[in-house]
């Protein structure tokens, strides 16, 4: 039985209408990989969301780069700097919207909660990114929630303050467009992967992304230096914690990965790649 057929037995909806859902575990070509691993320098603190590549993950962190130092200072002075402790909400789904938030320090997870209580994570946003859209100048309600994954320092820009900056500083208007473009690409990437990749492919892609962003080579294996729970993985790939736990255990049994406590070690990155890049 193939891995996808095994997975389908526990979560069939995730594999409906997948004509090529037959990826076996007994690959024989152990040396062949389907893509070249990245040798690019990794950002010190990159955003994280579901994407086919790490290119562009952190593009939105640079939306203010087109401004001079004095213009950036003017933007932050127009807002209010707040501290958000780890685990506290920055904004909540359904609350009234009044402006945006620029992360200065820390990390914020942005996610959606369905009426059933099930969550899906849009992204983990890091310093330089703005969050709180898609509304910009206020009005409406928040479509997502944002929670501080670690202690954060954030500049809040109210709707009126944003309007004043946009009308009085054309360079900021262009910068905000850059930020909105980055956000649009994030939404598109998420929709593309949810619509075209099976859940097992999304899990493999997520592990590969973690290996590129947070991986350290240790002999023939890669240690992922980021603590992440099964619940967090499930919310990223659009599955359940039970399914993720089951599949990670099967990956361990097939010696694709090893899990030591909360540390994931990728032992056979070529097999993860073959799930995504099969003929």
91-109: average pLDDT: 95
Q: How many Cβ atoms sit within 10 Å of the Cβ of residue 74? A: 15
**Of how many residues is the chain composed?**
279
The pTM of the full predicted model, rounded to 2 decimals, is 0.83
Q: What is the DSSP string of 131-199?
A: ES-S--SS-SB-SSEEEESS-EEEEEE-HHHHHHHHHH-HHHHHHHHHHHHHHHHHHHHHHHHHHHS-H
Identify the weakest region by mean pLDDT among 65-69, 71-75, 114-118, 138-142. Answer: 138-142
Task: Using the predicted structure, report yes or no on whether residue 5 has a pLDDT greater than 70.
Answer: no
23-39: average pLDDT: 42
Average pLDDT, the chain: 86
For the chain, the straight-line distance linking the first and the last C-alpha, in angstroms and rounded, comes to 19
Contact predicate 4/201, CB 8 Å: no
Residue 242, phi then psi, degrees to nearest 5: -60, -40
């Amino acid at each position: 039985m193939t891995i996808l057929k095994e997975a389908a037995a526990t979560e069939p909806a995730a594999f409906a209408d997948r004509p090529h859902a037959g990826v076996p575990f007994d690959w024989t070509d152990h040396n062949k990989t389907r893509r070249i691993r990245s040798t690019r320098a990794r950002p010190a603190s990159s955003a994280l969301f579901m994407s086919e590549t790490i290119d562009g993950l952190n593009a939105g962190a640079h939306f203010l780069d087109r401004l001079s130092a004095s213009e950036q200072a003017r933007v932050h002075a127009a807002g209010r700097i707040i501290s958000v402790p780890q685990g506290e909400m920055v904004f909540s789904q359904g609350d009234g919207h009044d402006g945006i938030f620029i992360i200065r320090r820390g990390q914020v997870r942005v996610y959606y909660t369905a009426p059933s209580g099930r969550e899906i994570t849009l992204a983990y946003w890091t310093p330089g990114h703005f969050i709180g859209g898609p509304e910009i100048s206020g009005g409406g309600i928040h479509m997502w929630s944002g929670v501080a994954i670690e202690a954060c320092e954030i500049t809040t820009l109210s709707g009126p303050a944003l309007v004043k900056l946009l009308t009085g500083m054309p360079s900021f208007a262009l910068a905000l467009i850059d930020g909105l473009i980055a956000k649009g690409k994030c939404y598109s990437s998420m929709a593309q992967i949810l619509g075209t990749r099976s859940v097992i492919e999304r899990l493999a892609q997520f592990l590969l992304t973690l290996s590129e962003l947070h991986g350290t080579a240790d002999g023939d294996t890669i240690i992922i230096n980021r603590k992440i729970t099964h619940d967090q993985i499930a919310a990223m790939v659009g599955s359940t914690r039970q399914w993720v736990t089951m599949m990670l255990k099967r990956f361990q049994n097939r010696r694709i990965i090893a899990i030591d406590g909360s540390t994931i070690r990728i032992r056979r990155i070529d097999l993860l790649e073959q799930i995504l890049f099969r003929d």
